[in-house]
Amino acid sequence: MAAVERALGRLADAGRRHPDEQALLASVLEGLRRRPKRISPVWFYDERGSCLFDEICELPEYYLTRVELSILRGRLSEIAASVGPDLCVIEPGSGTSTKTRMLLDALERPAAYVPVDVACEHLEAAAERLRREHDRLKVHAICADFTAPFSIPEGAPFRNRLVYFPGSTIGNFDRSEAVRLLSHLRRVARGGSMLIGVDMVKDRRVMVAAYDDAAGVTAAFNLNALEHLNRRLGSDFDPAGFHHRAVWNAVASRIEMHLVSRQRQLVRIGDDFVCFAAGEALVSEYSHKYTPQTFAAMAAAAGWHVGQVWTDPREWFSLQRLVADCSSISAGDRGCRVHAPCPSDTA
Ligand code: AVI
């Protein structure tokens, strides 16, 4: 009888949840049923998590932002010349568009800027600032999750598109997801090009330290995902019951961030309970690192070829210009063959 009442209670509870909330809950539970258990890195980015990420970018150990900016600064005119004039710049996951400002200032007559981000308020504020700074630039902000198909507004210039995807965000997707995303961005670029930030394989100690800093900011960032889950889904994760761990997985060529359970414990999520063994890891993020060859092969699988690579003297990070490989584009991928000239067509 008690079991029937519990089951009915569950149904009633489920009925009270908003369908979006139910879908979110179902996807979290699906990840927690995997071995190893997983949550999506999107759980890092609530208000506090976004501030912690900004702090991470300033840490001495977190070389990625600093090195990428130094490459961009040092090679700006070369990069601008290589991508050409009159561009429509599309930026998935644009955030505050900080790096973009530098690029837009260096480009010759940029025609339009299309930032795409799920954080709608920040997106609009950043778009407004750019409209004020560049009075001839058309700015069309799109509030969307860039990993799902999104469409570019009608008014945006069709030709000469450049997808700008800095920050090594591509590393947070596993290979099949990354190929899918790069293919999607190739269709968005419509025969144009992409400028992408790619983190490179280097000394394991440098990579691990970048994700396990001495001040504990990355640990706080990782544990904050549990607080975020609790707030959104009403779960009862106890962050003090977990500790942060960053490990280098050489076979998969990635840093993995884990939340390791300090003891055997039960966590309630919605109407379910998930059991953690003592020492069991919950994977919260993958951050893949590439060699020039592994990245070029992945890009090729998504129909891009590498046009140019800019790197720092230690070759820790790279900015790469990808060009849509027209030979791999099917008739369904309008825009390359039909509408916009490919570099090889115009040469
Ligand atoms: C957003 N992304 C590229 C960061 C990275 O390096 O993978 C997220 C991050 N995780 C821990 N520190 C930073």
For residue 156, the model assigns a pLDDT of 67
pLDDT-based confidence at 159, cuts 50/70/90? confident
With cut-offs at 50, 70 and 90, classify the pLDDT of residue 151: confident
pLDDT score at 119: 81
Ligand 1 center–CA 161 separation, angstroms: 27
Residue 346's pLDDT is 30
Q: Which atom of ligand 1 is nearest to the CA of 222?
A: 11
- The pLDDT of 164-180, averaged and rounded, is 97
Ligand 1 geometric centre to CA of 287 (Å): 7
CA-closest residue to ligand 1 atom 7: 287
The chain-wide mean pLDDT, for the chain, equals 88
Cβ of 168 less than 6 Å from ligand 1: yes
At residue 134 the predicted structure's pLDDT band, cuts being 50, 70 and 90, is confident
Specify the pTM. Answer: 0.89
**CB of 256 shorter than 6 A to ligand 1:** no
The answer to whether the bond into 36 is cis (omega within 30° of 0) is yes
Q: Using one digit for the tens of pLDDT, what is the confidence trace for 78-113?
A: 999 999 999 999 999 987 777 899 999 999 999 999
285 lines ligand 1 (CB under 6 A): yes
Is 67 touching ligand 1 by the criterion CB < 6 Å? no
CATH of domain 63-202+290-346: 3.40.50.150
Which amino acid makes up residue 283?
V
Start and end residues for every CATH 3.40.50.150 domain found in the chain: 63-202+290-346
Assess whether the C-beta atom of 218 lies below 6 angstroms from ligand 1. Answer: yes
- Mean pLDDT throughout 147-172? 87
Dump pLDDT digits (tens) for 26-56: 999 999 999 999 999 999 999 899 899 999 9
Find the distance separating the first CA and the last CA of the chain, reported in whole Å.
77
Mean pLDDT of the region 284-313: 98
Residue-wise pLDDT tens digits, 252-298: 999 999 999 999 999 999 999 999 999 999 999 999 999 999 999 99
For residues 113 and 100, is the Cβ–Cβ distance under 8 A? yes
Q: Is 56 in the pocket of ligand 1 (CB under 6 A)?
A: yes
